[in-house]
Amino acid sequence: MAWLVVRLAISVSLLYTASAVFEDQVGKFDWRQQFIGKVRFALFDTHSQASKKLLVATDKNVFASLNSRTGDLFWRHVDKTGPEGHIDVLLMYGQDAVVVVGNGRLLRSWETTVGGLKWETVLDTGSFQAATLVGVQDYVKHVAVLKKSAISLHDLSSGSQIWVENLPDSDTVQYQTIYSGGNGLVFVLGVVPNSHIVIVEYKIEDGEIMNKKSVEAAWMSSLENSCTVISSGILLCADQITQSLYTLPLQSAEQKEMRQIHLQTLDLEVASGFQPVLTSTRPNPAQPPLSEFFLQLSPDHHILLQLKDGLIAPLRDFNPSYLAAFATSGERTVAAVMSPKNDTACSINLFSADTGRRHLDTTIIYHMDPNGGKPNRLYVHAFLKKDDSVGYRVMVQTEDHTLTFLQQPGRVVWMREEALADVVTMEMVDLPFTGTQAELEGEFGKKADGLLPMVLKRLSSQFILLQAWLAHLWKLFYDARKPRSSVKNEVTIDILSRDEFNLQKMMVMVTASGKLFGIDSKSGTILWKQYLENIQPNSVFKLIVQRTTAHFPHPPQCTLLIKDKDTGLGSLYVFNPIFGKKSQISVPALPRPVLQTLLLPVIDQDYAKVLLLIDDQYKVTAFPSTKNVLQQLQDTASSIFFYLVDSSQGKLSGFRLRKDLSTELIWEVVIPAEVQKIVAVKGKRANEHVHSQGRVMGDRSVLYKYLNPNLLAVITESTDTHQERSFVGIFLIDGVTGRIVHEAVQRKARGPVHFVHSENWVVYVYWNSKFRRNEFSVLELFEGAELYNSTVFSSLDRPHPPQVLQQSYIFPAPISTLEATLTEKGITSRHLLVGLPSGNILSLPKMFLDPRRPEVVSEQSREENLIPYAPEMPIREEWFINYNQTVSRVRGIYTAPSGLESTCLVVAYGLDIYQTRVFPSKQFDVLKDDYDYVLISSVLFGLFFATMISKRLAEVKLLNRAWR
């Protein structure tokens, strides 16, 4: 019964806090883009001519089917992150795609039209080497998987294992390749580096070893890349040191060593230091490969060769050429070669594989993006035209993970920016004013200079507004006359300007590959992109907005700090976030590893905020470092503090800046690293506003919040991971004085800990290992009934410790990430945005995470609108702000205030990107979008006419009475 009361109370309170999406709002102000990651394997479905399928497997452990006409996803399967979901190989036969996952852990077969699993089998342990389809008499029935020490054969239709055999001498021989020519035998090829090659023959029916031989090959270190099987089972290898090709028939018993063919005899030479790459093609997995192959001699030199009667003859030399690939349609095999045309474009041509003859009219021009990377993979889709000639389309992959699908004569059919699958950090930047808007703003900014000029200025600005409105009306009229299809809402940088409520912003996204994007938040259009070359793969990025768009005519300025994770050395990249152009400002050199960055509210004469960079000798570099800035820094040095974290030693230390830009240590907190390690440290967001200083209680007194802007929340986890002894700790430390304001420990708990630190509260989530559930805990800090110093907050003068309230709740779902909404003035109630592994984003009212929720309802708590305490947090589907637009592997949620107090902009990123707006307290400052204009105007008109008519009637009546 008590439960029922609580439930009822909750549901009543929901009436006030619910912030849900209405069905007609779908797609109105939100959008989602789905990504797959860097493509590792891509196969076109050549099963039928009309098929549009393109199967891809990526480094993000995603296996997907793309529509090759539009680039959209048919379906996508997202596996576990990390090595356990890693896709080792993708094979395709007919409607089935066979995938080996997790370093040979699982073998899966997918039904590619529906996107469902056909079967899945667990493979024996052992690291994966290779897999191949095995055919017998033109028909593929099996798949063979080679592990480090075993080979197994599986049935293609059911996945059942037919046989598994241990490989002989697997401790000395490195087995690397597997080959089957469709004649009932499987060859396993291994190598003993710099000694010999081992070839083992297995019978398909029962796995019996038919033959085993070893061939001298002292020059060989690895079979991968430099070797391939061509023609009817002839192993072909290339070696750079001896400048030779080697051939060996796999099946013949008499040949005891590999036949050497000097490249000199073919007038060829491998570039020094380049490992030659051999590429062969196999149109039908049940038949042996073709006898033609590509040999890559240097990064931009390919040659098409043919093996005929034991002799190798060059068919065509492609010099220069970047990329080469084979493709087959029906019985015809072609080769596509990309060669440079000029500085900005490449041309792709088609050649017949068996003769090397060029097909006429098959040129595709590929324009290289000057802000992108170089092309590094070429995937060709060949098809037979009606006149029996071969047509083709190509997909070009570049270093920055972009996929471009082209057709003749160079039309870009679609493009996917797969770098966005790995967004590391982002910022939202206000759009600039247009010229007229800036002028209007300028009117209010300037000092008054007499009555008459002010009036004139006022009139002129009104005139400008009128002009703009007329132009807008004209445009509307003009667009209305055109057919709807031709009116396209194309967004370009030139027409971008701030809208009425500042709801449209520029999203600056930094991806792990080093590519920067500028995306329009309203439509999701990519407005600019910039690929930064030479970024180490494990770099850490930090994006800082130094100057916003508010300082016209100075352009906005963003600074990206790129830090190598291993060396700690950093570099700065300064750019304009609206146009993506690199700034010409000189950047300080950073010779030492950067430990900490600090954005000061001090501005230089160009209105750029000053960025301080602290290196490992605690020296401070200021950027920009003009005389003006240094002067200001000297004046304010005594009040600039910063902190450093050393997680390996569990040390937090606070420093103060001196006038000569050196630093002095003022405090140090040591959290013993052998017991617990510091996992994360977070302060409050700099752009956060708190509207009310306190909370009004039921008895009309005020409970003041403890609003310390220097407070740091430090999360620790125990080093002991045993279920009974593990714990999660939280410390609240003042960043200026180093005083520990509060500490709390959650026993029998472990990470990963997600937390939000804002206003006067910290919310954190941990895993309760005793009860196996996620729990939310909220800490709120209050000064009490009186404020100590209500005018200004100083960390150095705080005699009274704050009152700390804490409450915990059960959260009935796992959690991926956590963030809080943010609004312009902080009047709107706060919601927590919880990213769930299912891809939904839950908007949870902060009201539910209030440590003052009473266990027993009293008159006062009802007055305060407190929800009675319930141990389990509710999850309602109406609170999912992204309805069915789920965001896979959500890794971060970014919130930004808009010009409207009620509205908060939200971007969730992970594998996908989702942008929306949330209204935590509903839209209280604008008319709702379902506002009934028709009703209100019809009522008004109705009343108007009613008065008219009744007036007339009254007149008539009066007249009649007068006559009587």
Region of 207 on the Ramachandran plot (φ > 0 left; ψ -120 to 50 alpha; else beta): left
Kindly write down the DSSP assignment for every residue of 563-615, as one continuous string.
EETTT--EEEEEE-TTT-PBP--------S-EEEEEEEEEE-TTSPEEEEEEE
Structure tokens at 226: 């430099």
Q: How many CB atoms lie within 10 A of CB 44?
A: 22
The gap from C-alpha 107 to its chain's centroid, in whole angstroms, comes to 28
Shorter beta-carbon distance to another protein: residue 303 or 629: 629
> Which lies closer to another protein via its Cβ, residue 485 or residue 884?
884
Retrieve residue 934's tokens.
């028709």
CB of 79 to another protein, least distance (A): 6
CB of 570 to another protein, least distance (A): 9
Contact 156, 143 (CB under 8 A): yes
Q: Which two tokens stand for residue 295?
A: 């040999």
Min separation Cβ 85 and another protein, Å: 7
For residues 125 and 194, which CB has a smaller minimum distance to another protein in the complex? 125
Least gap, CB of 803 to another protein (angstroms): 22
> In this structure, how many other beta carbons lie within 10 angstroms of the beta carbon of residue 193?
12
Q: How far is the CB of 941 from another protein (least distance, A)?
A: 17
CB of 524 to another protein, least distance (A): 19
User: Can you tell me the distance from the alpha carbon of 741 to that of 743, in angstroms, rounded to the nearest whole number?
Assistant: 7
Q: CA-to-CA distance for 670 and 240, rounded, in angstroms?
A: 56
Q: State the minimum distance, in angstroms, from the CB of residue 412 to another protein.
A: 28
In the bound state with another protein, the residue whose beta carbon lies nearer, of 116 and 299, is: 116
**How many other CB atoms are there within 10 angstroms of residue 349's CB atom?**
17
Residue 374 exposed, middle or buried by CB count within 10 Å (0-12, 13-18, 19+)? middle
The encoded tokens of residue 309 equal 């009667």
Work out how close the CB of 619 gets to another protein at its nearest, in angstroms, rounded to a whole number: 15
Tokens 């039904």 sit on residue: 111
Give yes or no for a cis peptide into 320 (omega within 30° of 0): yes
User: Closest approach of Cβ 764 to another protein, in Å?
Assistant: 13
Q: Which is nearer to another protein, 91 or 350 (CB)?
A: 91
* Min dist. Cβ of residue 106 to another protein (A): 6
Cα four-point dihedral sign 584, 586, 589, 595: negative
Looking at the Cβ atoms of 125 and 462, the one nearer to another protein is 125
SS3 462: helix
Tokens encoding 255: 């040949």
Cβ neighbours of 88 (radius 10 Å): 22
Q: Which residue, 479 or 932, is less far from another protein as judged by CB?
A: 932
Q: Which is nearer to another protein, 409 or 814 (CB)?
A: 814
Least distance (Å) between residue 241 CB and another protein: 37
Q: Calculate the alpha carbon distances from 894 to 423, 436, 908 in Å.
A: 11, 31, 6
d(CA 676, CA 687): 32
Query: In terms of CB distance, is 443 or 646 closer to another protein?
Result: 646
Q: Which residues contact 251 (CB under 8 A, 6 or more apart)?
A: 185, 201, 233
Residue with tokens 């007055």: 863
Q: Which residues of 204-236 are buried (b: 16+ CB within 10 A; e: fewer)?
A: beebeeeeebbbebeebeebeebbbbbbbbbbb
Residue number, 567 or 884, with CB nearest to another protein: 884
Positive or negative CA dihedral for 91, 93, 95, 96? negative
For residues 133 and 143, the answer to whether their CB atoms sit within 8 Å is yes
- Spell out a b/e string for 744-769, using b for 16 or more CB atoms within 10 Å of the CB, else e: eebebbbbebbbbbbbbbbbbbbbbb
Instruction: Specify which residues 530 forms β-bridges with.
Output: 516
Q: How far is the CB of 953 from another protein (least distance, A)?
A: 16
Q: How far is the CB of 698 from another protein (least distance, A)?
A: 29
Q: How far is the CB of 144 from another protein (least distance, A)?
A: 20
**Based on CB atoms, which residue is closest to another protein, 312 or 765?**
765
At closest approach, how far in Å is the CB of 160 from another protein?
Answer: 14
3 vs 477, beta carbon nearer another protein: 3
Q: Which among 644, 583, 637 has a CA at the least distance from the CA of 608?
A: 583
- Residue 270: CB atoms within 10 A of its CB come to 21
Nearer to another protein (CB atom), residue 105 or residue 547: 105
Residues facing 754 on adjacent strands: 765
**Closer of 68 and 817 to another protein (Cβ):** 817
Minimum gap (Å) between residue 566 Cβ and another protein: 11
Min dist CB 812 to another protein, Å, is: 5
The answer to whether residues 705 and 694 touch, using CB atoms and an 8 Å cutoff, is yes
Cis (ω within 30 of 0) for the bond into 593? no
Token code pair at residue 142: 């099996």
Q: Cβ closer to another protein: 78 or 908?
A: 78
Choose between 239 and 775: whose C-beta lies nearer to another protein: 775
- For the chain, the distance separating the N- and C-terminal CA atoms, rounded to the nearest angstrom, is 75
Measure the CA–CA gap between 454 and 174, rounded to whole angstroms: 86
Output the smallest distance, CB 370 to another protein, in A: 30
**Spatial distance between the Cα atoms of 419 and 38, rounded to a whole number of angstroms:** 7
Nearer to another protein, 246 or 879 (CB): 879
Sequential DSSP letters for 503-559 = --EEEEEEETTSEEEEEETTT--EEEEEEPSS--TTEEEEEEEEE-TTSTTSPPEEE
Q: Are 120 and 106 in contact (CB under 8 A)?
A: yes
194 vs 723, which CB is nearer to another protein?
Answer: 723
Q: Tell me how long the chain is.
A: 964
